[in-house]
Amino acid sequence: MAIRVLLADDQALLAGTFRLLIDSAEDMVVVGIAGNGREAVDLARQTEPDVVVMDIRMPGVDGLTATQEICADPALRDTRVLILTTFELDEYVAQALRAGASGFLGKDVGPEELLRSIRAVAAGDALLSPTATRTLIARYLARPESRISAGESLAVLTAREREVVAMVAEGLSNEEIAEKMYVSPLTVRTMCSAPCPRWACRTAPNSSSSPSNPVWSGSNRPAETPHSSGRARGRFT
């Protein structure tokens, strides 16, 4: 059965290009295109896609708010959201994960990489781009008040995950890490995403539902607030 994909992007030319690419894959079909977050939520409820490829900066309702609404809807429990944006900022990545997104990619991703990522998210996996992973790690390490002992920090990771994090910190690409570890780049992406939910992040007290300033913490995930009620989608372990 073909993977049903909903596109949400306010740039018609880009959305049309993505549609041509996705429809060219034998195992995928685009079921709709939304020009903003409100349309994305409405079309998701109408078409019940397997994957929503979601931009962040759109007029009216933004992609992060739409992601939270989709992931919090029991009727869409089988729908996954893959963020595809030009802006791979650490606060956007954190907000997207809290909203329930299963993946986060930059728009500089290659055509085949995008198709592989859609397949991975549809299969229930979770992934982050190398840039998103590095920005999250850098943000976490840059806050003195959030530092915990090296033993505590690494204890939540498997030996393989620690190995991957070390190589990401050295600046190696997914392909270079995959070659060293004798695994696929997709496996590397999944392993890179694993530390993020377990290290956890929380939103600053004065934050709103729009992209803001997440505060990294060694503590567990926070209790739900009106702007962080979405549940994470995908296998991060």
Residue-wise pLDDT tens digits, 53-91: 999 999 999 999 999 999 999 999 999 999 998 876 667
Residue 105 vs residue 88, higher pLDDT: 105
Residue 226 in this model has a pLDDT that exceeds 80: no
Residue 161 in this model has a pLDDT that exceeds 50: yes
115 pLDDT band, cuts 50/70/90, is: very high
pLDDT for residue 163: 82
Cβ within 8 Å of residue 83, ≥6 positions away: 54, 55, 56, 63, 67, 92, 96, 101, 103, 104, 105
pLDDT for residue 8: 96
Residue 129 vs residue 218, higher pLDDT: 129
What percentage of the chain has pLDDT greater than the value 70?
73
> Which of 34-38, 129-133, 188-192 is least confident?
188-192
Cβ within 8 Å of residue 98, ≥6 positions away: 201, 203, 214, 228, 230, 232
pLDDT for residue 172: 80
Separation between Cα atoms, residue 92 and residue 4, nearest integer Å: 25
List C-alpha distances in Å: 194 to 37, 76, 165, 232.
Answer: 27, 24, 10, 12
pLDDT for residue 227: 39
Cβ within 8 Å of residue 194, ≥6 positions away: 157, 158, 161, 236, 237
pLDDT for residue 180: 84
Please provide the average confidence, as pLDDT, over all residues in the chain. Answer: 77
Tens digit of pLDDT for each residue in 148-158? 555 555 566 77
Residue 200 in this model has a pLDDT that exceeds 80: no
> Which of 6-10, 107-111, 155-159, 230-234 is least confident?
230-234
Separation between Cα atoms, residue 235 and residue 125, nearest integer Å: 5
pLDDT for residue 72: 93
> Which of 21-30, 41-50, 91-100 is least confident?
91-100
CA angle 75, 94, 174 (to 5 degrees): 100
